[in-house]
Amino acid sequence: MLGDTVRVISRRCDKGEETARVLEIRGGPAGRPILWQASPHELPLDGGTRIEVRLRQSPHAENGLLWGGKIGKNRSLARVVAALAPSLDVSLVSGEDDALAAVVTGGDWLNIPDIKLLRRLNFENVNDKPAASTVSLMRHLKGPNGEVFGRATISPSSYWSDGSGWVTVSGLRANRLSNVQGILSGDAITAARDAALPRVPKDVLSAWATDQARLLLESRLDDERKAKSAETVLECGGTIGQLPILRWAGEWLNPEEFATRITDLSELAFNFEGEFSYDEDEDAMHPRDFKDDFKEADTVIMVPKHNGTIINARGLSWPASLHEGRGNTTRLSELVRQVIRDTWKDDFDEFEEHRVVGEAAGYDVRRTVTIYARPDRERDGAGE
């Protein structure tokens, strides 16, 4: 991938120098390999293996190994190799211009400062200073016998490529994590080791997620981000405690607060699709007016729609694969419906209805919402 000429020099540390061999391939994968006995000046110090690749182009040239791209500043070799091997059990040294530097110390990912670990994980990140709110929440995923399966924090992602979170296999990174920053050690599911699933047991994962919920609740993160984090906590089998799960009349409510508020109501109107967005078939105003002026009606309850999955690779969804299957609804939606069932004792009807859900630029905004109504009672609830 990096060059057409590759040379491997190897000698077992418990064998003599005469056993050292050199394997050289020229012309890329189609080239014919040549094998010969290593000369004294080619021998690896104290045995072991050395791999040499003659790069096709300068590492600092455009699209080169260390090219900075849009960042405008070339990356250092130390930063790149540390990101590729962030959780080794052995030390890793890199060198440029005859200057050697240790970039990873065996097992140091377990104890180095959180901000240093997050910075190591993503050499492509322009921002070298991850948010302090994220850093302070990192915790080890540790089994009852002391085995460590990772070190991470829940951090909702907007896209699959967001964040500094990786699964590593034998210390080398495999695939990205979504909604999690840090490291989860895993097992490869492909021969190329470019996809892996974490090894953490279900009980360890759920205990870590429950602890994350406690830390998130105490953090300075905004309530919407906490609610999206709750989706991942539930996905991991954890308990969300008092994390918010929905927004009603501009106020974020946790499960207990929501249950208390609906006890004596007879009707509720929900949007389980998250924030309302402009619809050219429904709205009379200009899209810009909708974006700038839309005000949600106090009668509508908004449940965030967030994909809390951590890994989506080779047709596998994790950690959903650890639990029983479910439909297309989110975990938060399932929890909200459960609170309604527990509070109203299953004595209600569920249906969809087209209603006014807000206004923008002097126009009513209508959308289809989900209605929960208790029969034979006056309609004095959210859908009034």
**Per-residue pLDDT band at 285 (split at 50, 70, 90):** very high
Residues 6+ apart with CB under 8 A from 235: 308, 309, 310, 319, 320, 331
The per-residue pLDDT for range 318-356, each reduced to its tens digit, is 998 887 655 567 999 999 999 999 999 988 999 999 999
Provide the 10 A C-beta neighbour count for residue 376. Answer: 6
pTM of the model as a whole: 0.86
Query: Given a cut of 70, is residue 118 above it in pLDDT?
Result: yes
Question: Which three-class secondary structure state does DSSP give residue 50?
Answer: strand
Q: Is 276 exposed, middle or buried (0-12, 13-18, 19+ CB in 10 A)?
A: buried
Query: Given a cut of 50, is residue 160 above it in pLDDT?
Result: no
Query: Given a cut of 50, is residue 131 above it in pLDDT?
Result: yes
Q: Which whole number is the average pLDDT over 103-117? A: 94
Question: Cα-Cα-Cα-Cα dihedral of 174, 176, 179, 183, to 10°?
Answer: 40
DSSP letter (8 states) at residue 194: S
The per-residue pLDDT for range 58-105, each reduced to its tens digit, is 888 888 888 877 666 778 889 889 999 999 999 999 988 788 889 999
The per-residue pLDDT for range 199-225, each reduced to its tens digit, is 999 999 999 999 999 999 999 999 999
For residue 236, give the amino acid letter.
C
Query: Given a cut of 50, is residue 384 above it in pLDDT?
Result: no
Lowest mean pLDDT among 82-86, 193-197, 247-251, 272-276: 193-197
Residues 6+ apart with CB under 8 A from 298: 248, 249, 250
For residue 320, give the amino acid letter.
A
Provide the 10 A C-beta neighbour count for residue 45. Answer: 7
Domain positions in the chain are 5-56, 127-205, 217-373
* Mean pLDDT score of the chain: 89
Measured CA to CA, the distance from residue 338 to residue 373 in angstroms comes to: 15
Long-range contacts of 112-119 (CB under 8 A, 24+ apart): 114/138, 117/86, 117/151, 117/182, 117/183, 118/164, 118/181, 118/182, 119/164
Query: Given a cut of 80, is residue 127 above it in pLDDT?
Result: no
Measured CA to CA, the distance from residue 168 to residue 107 in angstroms comes to: 13
Residues 6+ apart with CB under 8 A from 347: 374, 375
Residue 308 main-chain phi, psi, to 5 deg: -90, 5
Asked if residue 276 lies in contact with residue 358, where contact means CB atoms within 8 angstroms, the answer is yes
More confident residue, 35 or 28: 35
Lowest mean pLDDT among 261-270, 291-300, 323-332: 323-332
| Tokens of residue 350, six digits | 């569920």
Tracing tokens 């994590």 back to the chain, one arrives at 177
Provide the 10 A C-beta neighbour count for residue 323. Answer: 12
Query: Given a cut of 60, is residue 132 above it in pLDDT?
Result: no
Instruction: Note the pLDDT of residue 382.
Output: 56
Q: Which helix (H) or strand (E) holds 140?
A: strand 139-142
- H helices of the chain, where? 77-84, 114-121, 132-135, 202-218, 223-235, 255-262, 287-293, 331-344
